[in-house]
Chains A and B, each alone.
Chain A
Amino acid sequence: MTGMTSYYISRAVISVAFGALFAVTGSPWWTAMLIGGFVFAFFLWAPRSGRYSVHPELGITALRRDERTQVINDKAARNAFVVSMLTLGGITVYFGALALTNVPIAVLKLVIVIGALTYFVSDLWLRRSQQ
């Protein structure tokens, strides 16, 4: 059995187990199947994505981010953190010193959205510029 064959077989087992977990915890059977399908689709996509390298000898942790992906993820996370903190600072100053009201929860949720968006845009941009 080649390395990749054992990878695909083990990932199929993990996907079925994942779907079964949802089924036994009360999710409808079609939701469980769909989730299992999505998990397996991810495992099929991962080795071709350029983000993960496959090490079948590592068993259940066969999928690893490779060195370049780790560097890109770290930079994207740093960018997201800085942008989130600056946004939070700006919001705090605005509501504390100018609007003189409490910060609405909806505005704070926006900080998380902006942070997540910064992470994904940075990841995509760094991936394109470093190839």
Chain B
Amino acid sequence: MNLHNRLKEIRLHKNFTQESLADAVGVTRQTIIAVEKEKFVPSVKLALELASALDTPIEKVFWLEKSRGEKS
């Protein structure tokens, strides 16, 4: 299972910069970049904080998807 997200799209829609979102959840801008590029899987706490800062249900920001060849 891979974690995917729509963080960048929602962030832009809510008029947040990477910097302002990073400040809102107490991480660095580099962490926001890494999450948006799906290079870094955030903890449950950070994922919930991001969803809360964006005022969006967490399932709209993050979701799991089966990777290729993975059985159900």
Contacts and interface: CB of A to CB of B under 8 A. Distances in A.
A71 B40 contact: yes
Interface in A18-68: 50-53, 55, 64, 66-68
Given A53-B22, A130-B34, A66 B28 contact: yes
Interface residues of B, number: 15
Contacts of A68: 27-28, 30-31, 34, 40
A50 B27 CA distance: 9
B27 A66 contact: yes
Select the residue from A55, A64, A67, A71 with max chain B CB neighbours within 10 A: A67
Given A53-B22, A67-B46, A68-B34, A130 B28 contact: no
